[in-house]
Amino acid sequence: MGETILELKGIVKAFPGVLALGGIDFDLKSGEVHAICGENGAGKSTLMKVVCGVYPPDKGVIRVNGKEETFANPVEAYEKGVSIIFQETSLFEEMTVLDNMFLAHEITRKAGPLTVLDYAAMRQKAQDVFRRLAVDIDLNAIIKNLGMAQKQMVEIAKALTYEANIIIFDEPTASLTQREVDALFRIINQLKADGMGIVYISHRMEEIFQICDRVTVIRDGMYISTKDIQQTNKDELVADMVGRKVGNYYPKADTQIGDELLRVEHYYDEGFVSDVNFTLRKGEILGFAGLAGAGRTELMLSLCGHAKKAAGKVVLEGQEVHIRNYNDAMAHGIVYVSEDRGKYGLHVDMSVAHNITLPQLRNFRKGIFLSSKQEHDIGEQYISEVGIKAPSPEFMVKNLSGGNQQKVSVSKALAIKPKILVLDEPTRGVDVNAKSEIHKIISDLTLDGLTIIMVSSELPELLGMCDRIYVMKDGTIAKCFDRSEATQEKILSVALETAREEKEAAQ
């Protein structure tokens, strides 16, 4: 490891009603990957936004490559060698890859008396960067047509066009598949070997132990510890993050599993879902595993009122049902919680309480009226039960940290108290402690007679929580495992099978 290239001393940042950072120290060396860990709302994203000039610090010193700096905006930070890949991507969706990469620092040339954009030079530089990263992305592609992983590669490439020597990743792997994570790690290792310094924010402990050299923990905006990764372990890190030991990560209750509640037969939907057959029993937590793109989200959306052109049979409590839209699904007691909070989930410009109570208002629109007192009380109840870090139920959702927004999304579904709750990646971006709290709530719901479908890419979560696990691939169900026989290896081998067959066929 080389010299210190980023140094933070006593960083303080307050928002109205929230002390986000109460005096944080941090340092990054060249050639190292330094993790920042902490619970949802601890201040990780805010700290890095202060470094990059998104927010000015209230107090404290930022030293970059030996010089004291306060950047007015992220472009200025980029120019001084600091780039950030945000938790939510910041690319312009309607523009091309190339335009995004050189936005605000276009290469120009003289053409007679005029200064014009030098597309040839920009193209050349972009290609050089992509070659260095060993990734292949069409420079003319429009961003909105790219997948999450490709968007992230574009952001990394953009950082490299600035000759950054400090790159900050804020939860880069939350929406990536395993293969994409491997590609990202290969790139991070290469950047590290080139002498860059990397700040790595993640809730995934395995990743931190796989890729990082040191780890700094913050809790409630306060500095707690910095450790060499070799000299610590998961339990110790979690204890630093939470302030106490967390024993049982998957607190599954023993539930009495009842009769068949839902049966899906030969179910098809336009696009991707084909010949799906499964059953769901009352009180069960039923898991759906599979690689990204296996069709799990498509299937759940289709069954929960977002079908395109479905065919097949859906039998609920012995009666065949036809669910045509979201309200039909609600009327049958089926609620879907999206993996994509923005698209199907939350109204970020509204309060926490309003988001939680909104579906009930929609459901009981006729004649039922929720007073602001009732709304406040319901909000308060979930803030305390699910552990949402918000100063009040009236707090705007957009001002919550990423993981706390996810908790609002889950609360909203819990408040409806449906018959069947379909959770798609319920704990993505949620810290380890809050995760086990959400798991406990999910598990307790089954004691109250609720039935749960859980889609997750985290196998330990499925293995820890589910009574049975279906594995999907290529839009259909490949296999079902009982809790007693399911293992990570067995599930992966089923999920990966097609990928391997395809590869062999291609050779």
Name the minimum Å distance from CB 12 to ligand ATP: 12
CA–CA gap between residue 336 and residue 191 (Å, rounded): 40
Identify whether the C-beta of residue 35 lies closer than 8 Å to the C-beta of residue 208. Answer: yes
Binder of residue 389, out of ligand ATP, Mg ion, none (CB less than 5 to 8 A by kind): ligand ATP
Judged by CB under 6 A, the residue of 96, 232, 277, 399 near ligand ATP is 399
| DSSP E strands, 69-165 | 82-85, 108-111, 114-117
Distance spanning both ends of the chain, measured CA to CA: 42
Name the minimum Å distance from CB 429 to ligand ATP: 6
Indicate the helix (H) or strand (E) that contains 69: none
Name the minimum Å distance from CB 316 to ligand ATP: 36
Name the minimum Å distance from CB 219 to Mg ion: 14
Decide whether 48 or 211 has the Cβ nearer to ligand ATP.
48
Decide whether 74 or 305 has the Cβ nearer to ligand ATP.
74
Q: Tell me: does residue 175 bind ligand ATP (CB under 6 A).
A: no
Residue 463, amino acid: L
Name the minimum Å distance from CB 197 to ligand ATP: 20
Cα–Cα nearest to 412, from 325, 474, 350, 465: 350
Decide whether 307 or 352 has the Cβ nearer to ligand ATP.
352
Number of Cβ within a 10 Å radius of residue 507: 5
Residue 449, token pair as written in the block: 């007679």
Binding mask 7-46 for ligand ATP (x = CB under 6 A): --------x--x-x-----------------x-xxxxxxx
What separation in angstroms does the CA of 80 have from each of 6, 75, 381, 392? Answer: 12, 9, 46, 39
Instruction: Output the residue with the shortest Cβ distance to Mg ion.
Output: 45
Decide whether 108 or 392 has the Cβ nearer to ligand ATP.
392
Binder of residue 451, out of Mg ion, ligand ATP, none (CB less than 5 to 8 A by kind): none
Name the minimum Å distance from CB 89 to Mg ion: 14
Binder of residue 57, out of Mg ion, ligand ATP, none (CB less than 5 to 8 A by kind): none
Residue 430, token pair as written in the block: 């949620």
Indicate the helix (H) or strand (E) that contains 179: helix 178-193
Q: Tell me: does residue 150 bind ligand ATP (CB under 6 A).
A: no
Instruction: Output the residue with the shortest Cβ distance to ligand ATP.
Output: 403
Summarize as ranges the residues that interact with Mg ion (CB under 5 A). Answer: 45, 401-402
Binding mask 366-395 for ligand ATP (x = CB under 6 A): -----------------------x------
Binding residues among 416-475 for ligand ATP as defined by CB under 6 A: 431
Name the minimum Å distance from CB 428 to Mg ion: 12
Q: Tell me: does residue 401 bind ligand ATP (CB under 6 A).
A: yes
Identify whether the C-beta of residue 388 lies closer than 8 Å to the C-beta of residue 414. Answer: no
Decide whether 38 or 305 has the Cβ nearer to ligand ATP.
38
Indicate the helix (H) or strand (E) that contains 210: helix 205-211
Which distant-in-sequence residues (6+ apart) come within 8 Å of 502 by Cβ?
Answer: none
Cα–Cα nearest to 427, from 436, 418, 419: 436
CA–CA gap between residue 319 and residue 278 (Å, rounded): 16
Binder of residue 41, out of Mg ion, ligand ATP, none (CB less than 5 to 8 A by kind): ligand ATP
Binder of residue 32, out of Mg ion, ligand ATP, none (CB less than 5 to 8 A by kind): none
Kindly compute the dihedral angle of the four CA atoms of residues 378, 380, 383, 389, in this order, to the nearest 10 degrees: 140
Q: Which residues are paired to 14 by β-bridges?
A: 19
Q: Using alpha carbons only, give the angle 222, 185, 295 rounded to the nearest 5 degrees.
A: 100
Decide whether 38 or 81 has the Cβ nearer to Mg ion.
38
Identify whether the C-beta of residue 261 lies closer than 8 Å to the C-beta of residue 420. Answer: yes
Where along the sequence are the contacts to ligand ATP (CB under 6 A)? 15, 18, 20, 38, 40-46, 389, 399-404, 431
